[in-house]
Chain A
Amino acid sequence: MMEYIPLNFPFLAAALLVGISFYILIFKRNLIKLIMGIAILASGVNLFLVALGYRAGGNAPIYTDVPEGPMVLPVPQALTLTSIVINVAVLALMLTMVILIYRHTGDIDSKKSRILKG
């Protein structure tokens, strides 16, 4: 049982990152910290995607001058690149909106700056 832990270490790290981000999203009120929590969630999911493609002792999936042996899967690496680009756009949009909320209400606490409820 204990010999599985070093093999599965990337997946444990991804689960830890997702768990930390859930804690931040639930308990932290500052809007900038909320955006950091979403960035950590994105890092956790991206780490999970890259880690699931790894094959033990594998080489980079490039056909030029490739040594003998298995290759790691290239598709999850493509999925991760796409996901990183999408998250950059989303984080930029969220930061812009926080700046505008601060200009209008003077506060970036999620309880004090809300106007709509009920």
Chain B
Amino acid sequence: MDKLLTHSPILIIAIPLLVAFLTPLIGRAGGKARNTLVIASLAFVEFLVIILARDIHLNGIHIYTLGAIAPDLALPGGAMMPIRIILEVDGMSIFMGIIWATVALAAATFSLSHMARETGQTRFYTLLLLMVAGCFGMIFTGDLFNLFVFLEIASISGAALIAFRTRFADAVEGGFKYIVISAVAGLMFLFGVGLLYAQYNSLNIGFLASVMQYSMLDKIALTLFLMSLTIKTGMVPLHMWYPDSYTVAPANVTAMLVITSHACMYAVFRICFTLYGGVLDASVVGWIIVIIGLLTMFVGVTMAVFQTDVMRFMSYHAISQMGYMWMGVGVGLAVLGNPGALAAYGRDAINGGIFHILNHAMYKPLLFMTAGALFHRTATRDLNKMGGLGHNMKFTLILYIIGALSIAGIPPLNGFASKFLIYESVYQFNPVLAVVAMLVSIITLASFTKAFQSAFTGPQLPEYKNVKEVPKPMLIGMGILAAAIIFTSIFPGLVVEHIVNPATDALINQSAYVNGIMGGTP
């Protein structure tokens, strides 16, 4: 058990990778064997993530050096720089890890019946496990080039999954746009990594943070990192490829891709807070992030009210909610150099932004899966053609209501708790931001009422008389997320204290990250 804990960072990345290559072999024995293998491996990975989270909460940062004699030997033989690739897991990384493990398990359960009529299911599960491994690698690594490699692994498998149903013309177009944007963004990221290596002769984030001087080339590298990860996250004005790609994918793949864009957002925070922590112009970069967040919230929701395709509607809402997270954390970054303001409202702003990441990761995949359930039974995504489906699909109706009330920020659900923290702290930074945030909440509620009325309420239409409820694996997949939403709604204090506060401390406190690698007193 102790050995399992010490080696858990690499096991969490390696197990999905190995099972991805075992799946075609076991798939020859039939569909049931392959499905059991996939679900069992994802459940085991979730167990490992939970025991690692408990250990980090008690004992601090975990590092794992690949290829060394002992896992925490970062500087062997009294060397001045760390050598070998080092995985470093702190509070913020394991926070994203818990989210990703849960959503991957729910999405894989959902796909057991949603993809049941497609051919080539073995390849689908192989690509799904490759994406799980790629995203875990991106979250847990402490090395910049390793981040690039896992980012590309997640992008390639994500693009292949989007274009999986090649009989639809728009699915292939969406996949093509995703891979072109990912390739260009990845190459810009690699250019930035090359610039940093040329100056400091190291790729390790902890070591670079301790020797960083903010020269001209470092500013260019910061811009390249920030913009390439911004377009992968889907923030305005770089967001226009995002709805095209996320509309046409199978619904559970979209649920997982939303969390992959969250992982790119995690990489932005890692670079701004930890890599460039003490040396960047915190107020300038903070204001850039706040303005991007503000634009994203507003443009996202006003375009969303206009849509009539249900999956495109949900994608624009995903863009709009990411604006909340960027605004909250951006306000915290802008006051990072000012200890009085940081203690008064900066810390609560970062708390609100990170809590919103957790809440979004629970209700957004749920909403995408309800849209997928509607598509599964009625074979159309067009809201103009649907109506009165609430008479037949009662469970989907209840799950949709829980998701819609949560995203609009209605008490007592968890969306309200994180938005409350963001409003209260951002108001003290600049009142205009809080006013726009509340306006966006109201328009969000309005648009979800519109979709609810079009799809679920109204008289039962004659063409949908024989529509039944969706099969059980889909309901179980959605039910996992709904249960997590209800738990977080009733006990937000527990969640904030045990999961969100360690993540905020890990972001603000750069020296703990550096000392995890270089040794020295924390």
Do chains A and B make direct contact within the complex (CB under 8 angstroms)?
A: yes
The chain A residues found within 8 Å of chain B, CB to CB, are 18, 25, 31, 34, 38, 41-42, 45, 48-49, 52, 73, 75-76, 79, 82-83, 86-87, 89-90, 93-94, 97-98, 100-101, 104-105, 113-117
Does B175 belong to the interface (CB within 8 Å)? yes
Q: How far is the CB of A21 from chain B (nearest CB, A)?
A: 9
Is B142 located at the chain interface by the 8 A CB criterion? no
- B152 an interface residue at 8 Å Cβ cutoff? yes
The answer to whether A101 touches B197 (Cβ under 8 A) is no
Inter-chain CA distance A95–B77, complex, in Å, is: 48
B159 lies within 8 A of chain A by Cβ: yes
Q: A38-B183, A97-B176, A116-B247 are in contact. Are A45 and B191 (CB under 8 A)?
A: yes
Tally A-B pairs: CB < 8 A.
85
* Closest chain A CB from B447 CB (angstroms): 16
Contacts of B170-208 to chain A: CB distance below 8 A: 170, 172-176, 179-180, 182-184, 186-187, 190-191, 193-194, 197-198, 201, 203
Cα distance, A92 to B338, chains bound together (Å): 50
Bound Cα distance A35, B197 (Å):
28
Q: Across the interface, do B194 and A45 meet the contact criterion of CB distance under 8 Å? A: yes
Residues of A within 8 A of B247 (CB): 116
A82 and B159 alpha carbons, distance in the complex (Å): 20
Digitize B136-158: 1 where CB-to-A-CB distance is under 8 Å, 0 elsewhere.
Answer: 00000000010001001000100
| Cβ–Cβ contact B194 & A115, under 8 A | no
CA distance A61 to B194 in the complex (A): 19
Given A86-B149, A100-B163, residue A41 in contact with residue B173 (CB < 8 A)? no
Given known pairs A38-B180, A38-B184, the reply for A90 and B152 (CB within 8 Å) is yes
Q: Which residues of B contact A115 (CB under 8 A)?
A: 169-170, 173
The interface on chain B, measured as residues whose beta carbon lies within 8 A of the other chain's beta carbons, has a size of 34
Of the residues A41, A48, A82, A90, contact of B149 by C-beta under 8 Å: A82
Taking the nearest CB of chain A, how far is it from the CB of B138, in angstroms? 14
Q: A94 to B173, alpha carbons, bound, how many Å?
A: 11
B496 → chain A closest CB, angstroms? 39
Inter-chain contacts of A18 with B (CB < 8 A): 191
Assess whether B160 is interfacial by the CB under 8 Å rule: yes
Query: Are B169 and A41 in contact, CB atoms less than 8 angstroms apart?
Result: no
The residue in chain B whose Cβ has the minimal distance to the Cβ of A90 is B183
Q: Which residue of A lies closest to B168 (CB)?
A: A104
**17 A-B pairs whose Cβ atoms sit less than 8 Å apart in the complex:** A25-B184, A34-B180, A41-B184, A41-B187, A52-B194, A73-B201, A76-B197, A79-B193, A79-B194, A79-B197, A87-B183, A90-B156, A90-B182, A93-B159, A94-B179, A97-B163, A100-B172
Residues of B within 8 A of A73 (CB): 201
- Known contacts A97-B179, A113-B173; is A76 also within 8 Å of B184 by CB? no
Q: Note all chain A residues with C-beta closer than 8 A to B248.
A: 116
Chain B contacts for A105, CB-based, 8 A = 169
Tell me which of A42, A87, A101, A117 contacts B172 (CB under 8 A): A101
How far is B185's CA from A86's CA once the two chains are assembled, in angstroms? Answer: 13
Q: Would B156 and A89 count as touching, CB distance under 8 A? A: yes
Q: For B243, list chain A residues within 8 Å (CB).
A: 116
- B170 contacts A52, C-beta separation under 8 Å: no
- Asked if A42 meets B187 with Cβ closer than 8 Å, knowing A86-B149, A116-B247, the reply is yes
Which residue of A18, A42, A75, A86 has the most chain B CB atoms within 10 A of its CB atom? Answer: A86
User: In the complex, what residues of B have CB within 8 A of residue A93's CB?
Assistant: 156, 159-160, 179
Verify A48–B194 contact, CB threshold 8 A.
yes
Cα of A98 to Cα of B174 in the assembled complex, Å: 11
Instruction: Scan residues 89-121 of chain B and give those whose CB is less than 8 A from a CB of chain A.
Output: none
Distance between Cα atoms of A38 and B160 in the complex (Å): 18
Give the most central of B156, B186, B190, B198: most A CB within 10 Å. B190
Q: A100-B172, A101-B176 are in contact. List 16 more A-B contacts (CB 8 A).
A: A34-B180, A38-B180, A41-B184, A42-B187, A45-B190, A45-B191, A48-B191, A52-B194, A75-B197, A79-B193, A90-B179, A90-B183, A93-B159, A93-B179, A94-B180, A97-B179
